Amino acid sequence: MSKRSAKADVLQGTLDLMVLRTLEAMGPQHGFGLAKRIQQISAGALDLNQGTLYPALLRLEQRGWIAPEWGASDSNRRAKFYALTKAGRKQIAREEDDWARTVALMERFLRAAE
Amino acid sequence: MRALWMRWAALFGKRRSERLLSEEVEIHLEMRAAELRAEGVDAAAARERARRELGGVEQMKEAYRDRRGIPWIETLGKDAMYGLRGLRRNPGFAAAAVLSLALGIGANTAIFSFINTLMLRMLPVEKPEQLLSLYRTGGWGKGYASYPLYLEFRKHDDLFAGVLGRSGAGKVRFDAGHGNRLEYVQREFVTGNYFDVLGVKPAIGRLFTDEDDRTPQGHPLVVLSYDFWRNRLGMDSAVLGRVPMVDEQPLTVIGVAAPGFHGVEVENHADMWAPAMMNRADIMQPGNHWIWIVARRRPEVPMGRIQAASNIIMQQYLMSVYGRQRESAFGKWAMEQKIEVREAGVGISMLREAFGKPLAILMAAVGLVLLIACANVANLLIARGAARRREIAMRFSLGATRRRLVRQWLIESLMLALLGSVLGLAFAIWGERYMLLFLPPGAGEQFRVTPDGTVLGFTLGISVLSAMLFGLAPALRATSLDPAAALKAGGSQQPGRGARAGFRKALVVAQVALSVVLVGTAGLFAHSLAGLRAINPGFVARNVLTFSLDYPRAWKNADKEKHRERLLARLSALPGIAEVSYGVPGPYRGGSWSASIRVTGSARTAKEGVEIDEQGVGPAYFETIGARPLRGREFDAGDLRSTRKIAVVNETFVREFLPGIADPAGRILSFDDSKPEGGEPTYIVGVVRDILHDGLKTTAKSTVYVPYREGDVAFGPTLLVRAQLPAGALLPAIRRELRAVDPEVTLAEPRTLIERVDDSIFVDRAIATLSGFFGALALLLAAIGIYGVMAYAVARRTAEIGLRIALGAAPGKIRWMVLRDGLLPIGLGLAIGLPLSRAAGRVSASLLYGIKPGDPLALACTIAVLVATGVLAAFLPARRAAAVEPMEALRHE
C-alpha cells in the first residue's frame, strides 16, 4: 500500500461518536462549528469531508440522540444548532465502552503479532 | 420507530426540508468564507475555498435526501410516474395490454365471486367450522328428513353439542296488520334450539328457546331477520309484541336476529322464523320429509366416528318405522335411505349440488384465459422492449443498475395489471349479473353475488401474480444487453433477435395450445346442449304461459274448483288466447305423483301391482300443450262431472302393459292393486305420446292421466295458457281477469313453458354459454398474439421480402410464405393442446349429455376453428408482405 496520505478517512461509524462527544464537551453547536471543532481536535489528522457531516447529523437526529433548534450565531445570524439529548448522553457511554473494548482487543492482536 | 416516523413525515414536508437544508449549507459556507475573509483572503476566493472544503454539495444533498425520506417509496413513486408517462406515450400498447388483462382478470373475478358466495363464505354464526349437515339420500327427495328422524339424532349428545332442524324458507302471505295490500315473505320453521345451537344473538328482543317449541300449534311466535326488520319495517323497535298475520296465522314478534344472519342456507334466505311446532302439516309423519338436520359436532369426536354412528342411528330408525314392510317393494325402497354427514360451515345449498362442479370447471377455464392474456401482454412487452433498447442502453450508460431497471419494468407491469383489474372488476360485476340470469327463479331469487373483501383480495392477488408472470421475462430480456452495442446499433433489434423471436413464438404456441383446451371443452358442452335441445319433449312449448294460484287458507276445495272454472271461462274469452287448461304437477314444475295399479289382461300386473306415474289434468290439457292424443280422445268438461272413472295413458304405458294392442281405448285399469283383477275399474279413453314432464334428461315412464280433482294431492295445479302471440305479453290481462274474479286470489310463479324447460337445463346452458364465451375470448387473445408476432416478423423482414419480390417471387408465394409461418404455431399448438383438451373433456364427462369426451364433432370443430383463426390472424400481415414495394424496401435498408 502506498503512503498516499497520512490523513485517515473517517472510519465508518466513528463520526457519530465524534459529533456526540463534541456536543457533550462544547454544548449546543451549529454544523460549521462542529466541523471546525472536530478538525481541530484531530489536529489535522482527520480528512473530514465536511459534506458528510450533515447526513450524519440528520441520522443522529432521527435516532433521537441530538435535537436541532434554530437560533442566532455569534455573529448574530440565523443558524441551526444541535444539542445533545438525554438519549444521546447514554449513547456516548455505550459507545465509549464499545470503543474501549475494541481498542483493547485490537491492541492485543497487534502485540501478539509482533 | 422515531426515525421511521420522521422519514414518513419527510415524505410530505419535502419541499420545506429541502429549503432548510439549503439554508443550513449556505450558512456553513458563509461562516467559513467570513473566517477566510478575516484571514485576508478576498471574497470570491474565500467563497470558492469554503465550497471546496465542504465537498460536493449536490452529492451531500442526495445522501441527505436518501437518509431523510423512504427512498424506495420515493423511487417507487417516480417509477410509477415514469411508467404512466410511458403508457400515455404509447396508448395503443397500453390499451391492448390493459384490455387483455381486464378480460382475463374480470372473468376470473366473476367466476370466483360465485365460488366465494356458494362455497367459501362462512356462515355468520359462532364457530361455523363445527357445523355439520346430516344429508339424507335415497327414498324420497334429498337433504330433507322427517321430524321423527330429527328427534332420534337429537338424543345423541355424545356425538353432537347440539342438533337443530329447519324447514327451509317458503313464500307465505304476510299482513303487518294494516289490512292493506297482500304481501309475501319468506317464512322458515325452526326448532326451538335453532339460534342457540348456531350461537346467533338477538339484535333486539329475544330469540327462541326449547320452551317456545313444545306443543303443536301452541307457540304463535315469530323472530324477524335483521334485513327484513331494517328494509321492510324501518328498524321500528316498537315491532316487539306486535302481532302480524304470517301465513294467515297471528304470530307475536318476540325479537330480531343479529345483523347479517339469514339462516343456514346460501341461496334461500329467511325473512322470519317460526317455531317448528307451528307447522300446520302433520309433522310427526315419518313419510313427511320437511326438516333439514344441522348439527354442531363435538370437536373431540372424529368425523369418521360421527358418520359411522349416524349410519347405525339411521338403520335403527328405519327398522323401527319400516321393519315390518321391509320385504315389500315399498319397504325395500324406504330402507335404502342413508344419512351423509357433510361439513356445513359454509351453509347448505341445493345450488351448490347442481352448480358446484360446473363452477370449478369454469374457474379452471378462466384461469387459462388469464394465462393466455398474460402471454399476450408478455408478447407486447417484449416487442416494446425491443423498441426501447436505445432508451435502456442509455440508462445503463448513465449508471442505472440492472436491478433498478428490472424493478422499473416490473412496476410498469404492475401498473398495467392494476389498471386491468380495475376495468376487470367492472367487467366482473356486469358478468355476474349476466350469469345470474341463468339461474332459475327458485334458485336465484335471493342469491346475491356481492364482491367482498375475499373477492377484492383475490383480484388484487391475481393481478400482482399475473404482473410477475408477464412482466418478469420481458424485463430480464430487455435489460440483458450490451449497452455499447445497443447504442451503436441505433436501437434496432440486431443482437439476440433469433432467441427473442423464438421466445415470442413459443408464447404464441402456448396461447394456441391453451385455446385448444378451452375451445375443445366449449365444443363438447355446446354439442351436449345441442343434443338436449334436439330432444322432442312431446309437447310444443312455444307461446304457452304457466302459473299457479295462491288461495286464502280458509278456502275449501269446492271453492277453489268453482273459482278456477270461472277464471278459465274468462281467460278463454280473452282475445289472443287460444286454449286454457291446467295440470298437476304440470310440465317442468317439479314434484311427482305415483300410484300402484293393476291392468286387466296384462301379464305385467298379473302377480302384483306396478308403480306408475300419475298426473291430474284438466279438459283440453293436451290440446293446450300441443300434444293431441294419438288415438281416442282427451277429457272434456263433461268428464269432470261424470262418476265413471276414465284415464288417458301414454305410449310407454301401452308398450309395458298392453303390448300389441292397436287401440287400447276401452281397456280397464284399476288403482286398487289389492287383487289381481283390480277393484273399481278405470276406463282408458285415449293414448298420447310420451311427454317428458320432468326434465329433458329423463326417460319416459308409464304414465296414467286422470281428470284432476282439487285436493287429490297436496300441491295445487299449474295453469297453462296457450296464446297466439308470445305468451308473456298476456300476463297483465290475465292478472286483471284474476282480480276481477276474486281479488283475494293471487298469481304465483308466472313463467313461460319455454323458460321452464330452460330452467330445467340451466346448468347445461350456463356452462355451454360461458365456456363458449371464454373459448371465444381465448381465441381472440390468441389471434391477437399471432397477429402481433406475424406483423412484427413481416416488418423485420421487409428488406428480405423486397429482395425476393425484386428477384421475381410471385405475390402469392410471398403470401403463402408468411401465412405458413402463422400456421406453424397453430399446428404446434394443436399438437400440444389436443391431448390436454381430451384430458379436460374427461374431467367434465359427468356434465356431458349424450356424448363422450372424445366427441369427433367437437374435435373437428375445434381444429377447424383454430385453423381459421390462424389464417385470419396471419392474413393481414401476409397481404402486407405481398404488397411490399421492392424499391421502397431496399432503399429503406
Q: Are residues B721 and B776 in the same domain?
A: no
Number of domain units in chain B? 4
Q: Is residue B88 part of a domain?
A: no
Q: Are residues B594 and B710 in the same domain?
A: yes
Q: How far is A17 from chain B (nearest CA, A)?
A: 18
Which residue on chain B is closest to A32 by alpha carbon?
A: B28
Residue among B616, B648, B645 at smallest CA distance from B629? B648
Range A43-49, long-range pairs (CB < 8 A, 24+ positions): A44/A7, A45/A6, A45/A7, A45/A8, A46/A7, A46/A8, A46/A10, A47/A5, A47/A7, A47/A8, A47/A9, A47/A10, A48/A10, A48/A15, A49/A10, A49/B55
For residue B263, is it within any domain? yes
State whether B282 and B395 are in the same domain. Answer: no
Q: What are phi and psi of B751, to 5 degrees?
A: -160, 135
- Contact yes or no for A49 and B68 at CB 8 A: no
Can you read off the three cell numbers belonging to residue B716? Answer: 295445487
Q: How confident is the model at residue A101 (pLDDT cuts 50, 70, 90)?
A: confident
Which residue in chain B has the smallest CA separation from A80? B24
Angle between the N-to-C axes of helices B753-760 and B762-796, in degrees from 0 to 180, rounded to the nearest 10: 70
Q: Are residues B717 and B770 in the same domain?
A: no
**What torsion, rounded to 10 degrees, do the Cα atoms B599, B600, B601, B607 define?**
60
Note whether B315 and B115 are within 8 A (CB): no
Q: List CB contacts of B818: < 8 A, sequence separation 6 or more.
A: B790, B793, B794, B874, B877, B878, B881, B882
Cα B816 from Cα B875, distance rounded (Å): 9
Answer whether A49 touches B (CB < 8 Å): yes
Is B808 inside a domain boundary?
A: yes
Do residues B777 and B882 share a domain? yes
Residue of A nearest to B58 (CA): A51
Q: Which of B709, B744, B779 is the last residue of a domain?
A: B744
Cβ–Cβ of A32/B32 closer than 8 Å? yes
- Assess contact for B610 and B776: CB atoms under 8 A: no
Chain A positions in Cβ-Cβ contact with residue B67 (cut-off 8 Å): 55, 58-59, 62
Contacts of A50 in chain B (CB under 8 A): 28, 53-55
User: Which segments in chain B show pLDDT lower than 50?
Assistant: 491-496
What ipTM, to 2 d.p.?
Answer: 0.77
Running DSSP on this structure, what letter comes out for residue B581? E
Same domain, B305 and B223: yes
Residues B516, B407 share a domain: yes
Q: Which three cell numbers stand for residue B731?
A: 300476463
Q: Residue B334: give the domain boundaries.
A: 128-350
Assigned domain for B163 exists = yes
Residues whose CB falls within 8 Å of the CB of residue B667, separated by 6 or more in sequence, listed in order: B599, B600, B601, B658, B661, B683, B684
User: Do the Cβ atoms of B483 and B396 come closer than 8 Å?
Assistant: yes
When CB atoms are compared, the residue of B20, B27, B56 closest to A51 is B56
Query: How far is the C-alpha of B301 from the C-alpha of B292, rounded, in Å?
Result: 22
- CA gap B379, B96 in Å, rounded: 11
Indicate whether B635 and B710 sit together in one domain. yes
Please judge whether A30 and B67 are an interchain contact, meaning their C-beta atoms are less than 8 angstroms apart: no
Contact state of A31 with B24 under an 8 Å Cβ cutoff: yes
- Cβ-based contacts of B28 with chain A (< 8 Å): 30-32, 35, 50
| Residue from A38, A46, A50, A91 to probe the interface with B (highest B Cβ count within 10 Å) | A50
The verdict on B409 and B342 lying in the same domain is no
CB–CB of B64 and A35 under 8 A? no
Tell me how close the Cα of A79 comes to any Cα of chain B, in angstroms.
Answer: 7
Beta carbon pairs, A and B, within 8 Å: 64
Task: Let me know whether B219 and B237 are in one domain.
Answer: yes
Q: Assess whether B558 and B684 both reside in one domain.
A: yes
Interface of B with A (CB under 8 A): 2-3, 6-7, 20-21, 23-25, 27-28, 30-32, 34, 53-57, 59-60, 63-64, 66-68
d(CA A14, CA A96) in angstroms, rounded, equals 11
Cβ-based contacts of A55 with chain B (< 8 Å): 60, 63-64, 66-67
For B8, the closest chain A residue by CA position comes to: A62
Among A31, A51, A77, whose Cβ lies nearest the Cβ of B59? A51
CB < 8 Å to A49, chain B? 55
Cα A94 off chain centre by:
14
Helices (H) and strands (E) in chain A, counts: 4, 3
Q: Sign (positive/negative) of CA torsion B567, B570, B574, B579? A: positive
pLDDT of the residue at B294: 96
| Displacement of CA B448 from its chain's centroid (Å) | 11
DSSP state string for B435-489: HHTTS-HHHHTT------HHHHHHHHHHHHHHHHHHHHHHHHHHH-S-HHHHHHT
- Strand ranges of the sheet holding A66-72, from the earlier edge strand across to the other edge: A29-30, A78-84, A66-72
Question: Given B32, B49, B69, which residue is the final one in a domain?
Answer: B69
Comparing alpha-carbon positions, the chain A residue that sits nearest to B5 is A62
Domains and CATH numbers, chain A: 14-113 (1.10.10.10)
Specify the pTM: 0.76
Q: By the CB < 8 Å criterion, does A46 face chain B?
A: no
- From its phi and psi, is residue B389 left (phi > 0), alpha (psi between -120 and 50) or beta? alpha
CB half-sphere exposure, B527, CA atoms < 13 A: 22
Q: Identify which of B21, B27, B55 has the shortest CB distance to residue A49.
A: B55
Instruction: Report CB contact under 8 Å: A73, B31.
Output: yes
Which one-letter DSSP state was computed for residue B276? G
pLDDT tier at A108 (50, 70, 90 boundaries)? confident
The two beta strands, B594-599 and B202-205, are unpaired
> Nearest Cα to B111, choosing from B307, B359, B318?
B359
E strand residue ranges, A1-114: 29-30, 66-72, 78-84
Residue of A nearest to B21 (CA): A54
Mark whether B732 and B792 lie in a shared domain.
no
Evaluate whether residue B320 is within a structural domain: yes
pLDDT for the residue numbered B515:
93
Helix (H, G, I), strand (E, B) or coil at B558: helix
- Answer whether residue B842 is part of any domain: yes
Residue B806 lies in a domain: yes
Q: Classify residue B119: in a domain, yes or no.
A: no
Cβ-defined contact of A50 to B68 (cutoff 8 Å) = no
Stretch 52-71 of chain A: residues touching chain B, C-beta under 8 Å: 52, 54-55, 58-59, 61-64
Q: Do B7 and A62 touch (CB under 8 A)?
A: yes
Name the minimum distance, in Å, from the CA of A33 to any CA of chain B: 9
